[in-house]
Structure 1
Amino acid sequence: MADLGLTFSKELILTGIKASTDLEAIETAAKYLLEKGLVKESYVKAIQEREKVFATGLPTEGFGVAVPHTDVEHVNEQTICIGIMENPVPFKVMGSMDEIVDVKIMFMLALKEPHSQLTMLQAVIGMVQKPEVLEKLAIEKDTGVIYDLVMNELENMEIEE
């Protein structure tokens, strides 16, 4: 397993997120991380501001995913929060502020060490390149099942250090 050095549990999987914009979806998950004490109060605004400048939507087979993240100084404990949208939410595509992708799954990263950002992004990209995994994540309501699926994927992943 790639040692990603992060806190992740089924409590950090949010299903049925109701949002009409990317910033609403991001705010929902960011505030949840704040309630859990995993991020600083500044994280909520910082991650939204970063999304406005550096979009994180990724088109994948079937539907889009997003990987919002921000600077390390806003994080208390390194973690990932997975948000499953009730209905797809429009996000701007990474690297293009003109293209839109309808996002069903959001992998929100809260990282304390700058070098871990690339490793975690590699892990998420590895998962999103598997349409069968994304499809299961998108339709599953049981956070325990989602957790097991994600952990299985991470354990079997080859990450370049």
Structure 2
Amino acid sequence: MAVFFDENVIELKVKAENNKDIITKLAKILTQKKIVKSNFLDHVLNREKQFPTGLAIKDGLGIAIPHTDSAYVNKSQIAVATLEKPIMFNDMVDSNKKVKVNVVFMIAMSQPHEQADLLSNLINMCQQPKAVEKLINANNKKAVEKTLREYHLD
């Protein structure tokens, strides 16, 4: 599997007001680095409204995996943000429920088939609360990268 993340798109202890705020911050980083097309943000926000991406792990831990179609992506990449304070996303399974999210993985895949494998590996990792805790507690980008590699997200 190709490397889909690098420390240039990992943000630690980000202050975000809400899910739109963090999605916007991550999409802007990807847009500035020309990883995604200029209309990527609009499509991620629209998709998030229709198909929420919050996923509860356990004990108040949660992640979100905002993404959109590969048509809006130039180069495959995962932007990762750990949050200073959890924010609410609607639940992936039951959109009427809210999930307290601590880590956001913004997926930008240029090939549709890459997304399925990546989502599967990401969800497997996130079913390990220790892995999510490692990400939340990471004090540097290398620690985040190391954890992601341990779970074959590279």
> 1:7, CA displacement in angstroms?
3.3
The equivalent of 1:105 in structure 2 is 103
Task: Give the match for residue 42 of structure 1.
Answer: 39
Mapping 1:3-152, distance limit 5 Å: 3=1, 5-62=2-59, 63-152=61-150
C-alpha distance in 1 between matches for 2:121 and 2:80: 13
Identity of aligned residues (%): 31
Which AA in structure 1 matches 2:90?
K
Q: Deviations over 1:41-67 (max 9, x none)?
A: 000111011101100000002311001
Question: What is the DSSP-based 3-state SS (H/G/I as helix, E as strand, rest coil) of the residue aligned with 2:151?
Answer: helix
Aligned partners of 1:56 and 1:94 also within 8 Å:
yes
Measured in 2, the distance between the counterparts of 1:105 and 1:52 equals 19
1:41 and 1:51 map into 2 onto residues whose CA distance is 17
- Following TM superposition, by how much is the alpha carbon of 1:6 offset from its aligned partner in structure 2, in angstroms? 4.2
Given that residues 123 and 154 in structure 1 are in contact (C-alpha distance below 8 angstroms), is that contact kept between their aligned partners in structure 2?
yes
- Segments of 5+ residues of structure 1 without an aligned counterpart are none
Per the normalisation by structure 2, the TM-score is 0.94
| SS state at 1:40 partner | coil
TM-score, with normalisation over the residues of structure 1? 0.90
Distance 2:117 2:8 in 1: 23
Q: Secondary structure at the match of 1:41?
A: coil
Deviating beyond 3 angstroms after TM superposition, the runs of 4 or more aligned structure 1 residues are none
- What CA RMSD, in Å, does the superposition of the two structures yield over aligned residues? 1.4
